[in-house]
Structure formats: C-alpha cells, structure tokens
Amino acid sequence: MAVGIFDSGLGGLTVLEAVENRLPDLPFVYLADSAHAPYGVRTSDDIFDLTCTAVSRLFDAGCDLVILACNTASAAALRRMQESWVPKDKRVLGVFVPLIEAMTERQWGDNSPPREVDVKHVALFATPATVASRAFQRELAFRAIGVDVEAQACGGVVDAIEDGDMILAEALVRSHVDALQRKMPAPDAAILGCTHYPLMQQHFQSALGDDVRVFSQASLVADSLADYLQRHPDMVGTGEAAFLTTGDPRRVSDRATQFLRRQITFQSA
C-alpha cells in the first residue's frame, strides 16, 4: 500500500522529493497527467473530472492515501471530491492545508475564531484556475484576520517548465513579479501556489528581494504528511514504488530526470 502523489505534470516532483527525504522508507506511486497538462487554464468541472480519473487510477494501484500535489486540483476539486466522491476507506489530501498552517501558526483542527497573524501583505503566485477559485483566500479567512492577499495569475510558467525552457520560465517569473508589485509594492510574504514554482524559487526570491519571506510548499507538505501518518498508522503500508504518466513515458522520463537530477523512468498509466 504505497502513498499516491498526483500532479497534472511534473511540478509534484518537488513534493515527491521532499517527502522521500522526510520518509525514506515509504513507497510512493507518482502519477503525472501529462496528456492533459496544464490544468491551470481549465474549467473547474474539467479539473474535477480529470482529477477524479487520476486519483481512481492511484486507488487501483493500491494507494489508500493520495496527495494532490497540484494546487489547481486542490483549489478547484478537492473540497468537492471530499464531500461527494472519495470512498470512506480512502483519503485524499491537498497541499493548501500545510501552507495555511505555516502562515497562521495554528493547526488545521483549531476551530477558534480568526486572529491576527504576523504577515499582513501576502503575494500569491498561482495558476489562473487557482487564482480564480479564491480557495487560498477563503481558507485563510477562516483562520486569520487583517491579511491583504494580492493574487497574480502566472500564465505560461508551467508550460515553460514542462517544456524544459527555463530561460523563458525565468523571464515569465520576473514579468509576473513586476505585475504583482505594481498592485502590491511591498509584500511581507509570497506564496508559490503551484508545485512547479519551487523549481524557480531562486528567481522569485531574487525578483521579490531578500526582505520578502517566500513560502514554498514541498517541505511543508512533507512534514504534514509525516505528522498525518504518525496519527493514522493504518495508512502506512508496503508496496512497489512507481512513476506513471498519461503522456509519452520517454519524454516525461527525460524531463523528470532533468528536474530531479537522477534517473526517473515513467511507465504508461
């Protein structure tokens, strides 16, 4: 019983790498829906249908616990999935929760009234679909007051990363940071609200300046998963690790090997 990790493409590999480092003995099955990437420009219904199909494939692979290592899927599909679709003996978790916990310094199960937090001006960089969902602002408002969030839809960045064009990706990052700073000149913190974006974290940080705290999700998700499995040991099991893709396995393997700087071999999903 491996743990499933799902992303629309290769961005979730940043989460996979962090959780492998945190939980080296736990097997993972990674599924990239490369044939339908990017999700960030799709409708919420389309994202929901594609995410359910992918998660079903991971359930079939023996994964009782699946992490949506995709902010777009977490924002546009997760709540609906948990309310009406996920079987009672399965669990599907998203990547927003650890981020909100880190920003507000309170556990997800803490249902006390919203309170003031240290950060007041937050820049959110995400895909168009994540920005349109306003899921981050909604979840943050349940737990914090007095936080101004300015969102910037970062069109083109995921496509450039998936194509391996890091020069274009860097140029797009700087353009999107410039656009954000015209709306919010001095953010206290910045959220990289897409699991592809940690691959460009140094460029976000450089464009924003050293005074801006940049929250990247991979390590936060890894720590949260370790805590979850400690509290739910029935979700820990054994199984065979695997990398699956709905796209061209050879092309996806080449890109993944480039990203993680180690040999990664994908199979057809």
Active-site residue list = 70, 194
C-beta separation of 225 from 219 below 8 A = no
User: What's the gap between Cα 262 and its chain centre?
Assistant: 21
Distances (CA, A) of 96 to 164, 187, 242: 26, 20, 25
Q: Which of 98, 67, 105, 91 is nearest to 224 (CA)?
A: 98
Beta carbons within 8 Å of 115's beta carbon, 6+ residues apart: 143, 144, 145
Rounded CA-CA distance 68/113 in Å is 28
C-beta separation of 177 from 204 below 8 A = yes
* Residues linked to residue 144 through DSSP beta bridges, in sequence order: 115
